[in-house]
Structure 1
Amino acid sequence: MSRSTNVDLPRRGADWDRGWRAFAFFVLPLASRVLRLHIRDEQNLPQVGAFVVAANHYTTVDPIAVGLAVARMGRAPHFLLKASLLRIPVFGRILRGIGMIPVERAARGGGDPLGQAAELFARGGGVVVYPEGTLTRDPELWPMRGKTGAVRAALGAGIPLVPVAHWGAQKVLPPYGGKLKIVPRQVVEIVVGEPLDLSPWAGMPVTGRVADEVTTLLMNRIAELQGELRGETPPVERWDPAQHGQSEFGRP
């Protein structure tokens, strides 16, 4: 199923609290004037209950595209975001008010993002996670090796883990900067995959081996979905920054 999205405001799901309704009223119409979304297979996103959406990440516009898409599909998107964003005066307070969850970089430590996500899941909400943790280092913008947070959250809570891929946001803003292009309005293609079958690991301790194994499956599936959007075949192996002498944070 595919849908072209042009309306200003999405339908509201049961998990849209007062803060999200206010935020959506002011922000989503602006976002929809920058991006035109073509959403495929939106029926794969659960309409009730908790979920984890895991998406590819190749430009700083991604959260706008994916957040708008999740909202268009009737759910309130809550992101795991860099903690530094939530420390920005006023802006950070708004992000916290709509349920964004801070993630500290390893060097800083502290915080409990998965614990906060579990509280959201208990209320029937969902989170959007970028398993790569930063913009992909793959020079062709394919998904790279993922971190295990999305898998640990979904397995730990026993909830759907939904792979999502998108393509086209780089036309609005290239990775790591460049000229912002909002006229004409750019099209971003988004495909929602079926939730991963996590039944083989149900009830098992979420060990490092299990988390790595499922994360590999997740990233491969996201790459396959992005390949469908691009009309290309993704690389067999996910890009590993460590093997190419690249930093895990900041610019490569």
Structure 2
Amino acid sequence: MPSPLRSNRAYRNVARIVRPFLFATTRPDWHGAEHMPTDRGFIAASNHMTEVDPLTLAHFLWDHGHVPRILAKASLFSVPVVGPALRATGQIPVHRETAAAGDSLRSAVDAIAQGECVAVFPEGTLTRDPALWPMVARTGVARLALTTRAPVVPIAQWGPQDLLPRYGKVLRAVPRKKVTVVAGPPVELDDLYDRPQDSATLREATARVMAAITRQLEQVRGEQAPAEAFDMRRRRTEPGAGQA
């Protein structure tokens, strides 16, 4: 298939390696591509269960004509081979709790303004939910969405955890694993655009995005998510947290 128009040479070279690997190890079950805009920049927001999620998400987006600029933790850009590939393909480092923390938001805003697809994992790390349901997310996706007013397309993934378990180090490449990726209609955030970006507004926008992702994942799994999402912040502040 032809490469997306916005791809550069480095991205195409990486795709020539990664796509055959994913086709050899997974059976894609993709739905909802019609919900992704083709005439403007947008945010692709997905759940996060395993370290291979960025590859399966990028595979879905690339094969539907979008070149994802993924928000990835800054430490990955220092890893040999991986770091140079991330930089060459235009991925966006996230510097949390540093003086450069705002750089990732500015880079993502600029990318969307140029019509790019910016891919985010709002939870910021692998879900800690025991059953791999989405957990309470950080508010970065809300800041990006409310600043740019770009469509936020919720995407649910299920199956990458069978290829590489959460915290796993060894791929389970045989037999090929079914990987379902479903994009839904953009999340309704219009009523929040003109409100101050205070903590209440950011939490509301984030909650809507995660609720949309979770609803889609419920449909894929044929199960109901917990009534209350796992919250790492609450667990850290509970009496006895961190004690053996």
Q: Same fold (TM over 0.5)?
A: yes
Question: 1:14, 1:49 → 2: CA distance?
Answer: 14
Matched, 1:110 2:104: no
Match of 1:242 among 193, 210, 233: 233
Question: 1:71, 1:36 → 2: CA distance?
Answer: 16
Q: Could you tell me how far 1:109 is from its partner in structure 2?
A: 4.6
Please tell me the residue identity of whatever aligns with 1:230: R
Question: 1:154, 1:35 → 2: CA distance?
Answer: 31
Matched, 1:158 2:149: yes
Give the aligned partner of residue 142 of structure 1: 133
Q: Which runs of 5+ in 1 are unaligned?
A: 1-8, 247-252
Give the aligned partner of residue 233 of structure 1: 224
Q: Which runs of 5+ in 2 are unaligned?
A: 238-244
Give the aligned partner of residue 80 of structure 1: 71
What is the 5 A alignment of 1:7-26? 9=1, 11-26=2-17
Three-state SS of the structure 2 residue aligned to 1:245 is helix
Give the aligned partner of residue 61 of structure 2: 70
Pairs aligned (count): 236
Question: 2:15, 2:28 → 1: CA distance?
Answer: 16
Three-state SS of the structure 1 residue aligned to 2:174 is coil
Question: 1:89, 1:60 → 2: CA distance?
Answer: 17
Q: State the Cα RMSD in Å.
A: 1.7
Matched, 1:223 2:197: no
TM-score (norm 1): 0.88
Q: Could you tell me how far 1:89 is from its partner in structure 2?
A: 3.4
Three-state SS of the structure 1 residue aligned to 2:30 is strand
Match of 1:174 among 131, 150, 165: 165
Please tell me the residue identity of whatever aligns with 2:32: D
Matched, 1:44 2:35: yes
Matched, 1:129 2:120: yes
Please tell me the residue identity of whatever aligns with 2:122: P
Give the aligned partner of residue 179 of structure 2: 188
Q: Deviations over 1:86-141 (max 9, x none)?
A: 112343122111111111232x4524101011121122101110110101011111
Question: 1:214, 1:117 → 2: CA distance?
Answer: 18
Question: 2:71, 2:198 → 1: CA distance?
Answer: 22
TM-score (norm 2): 0.90
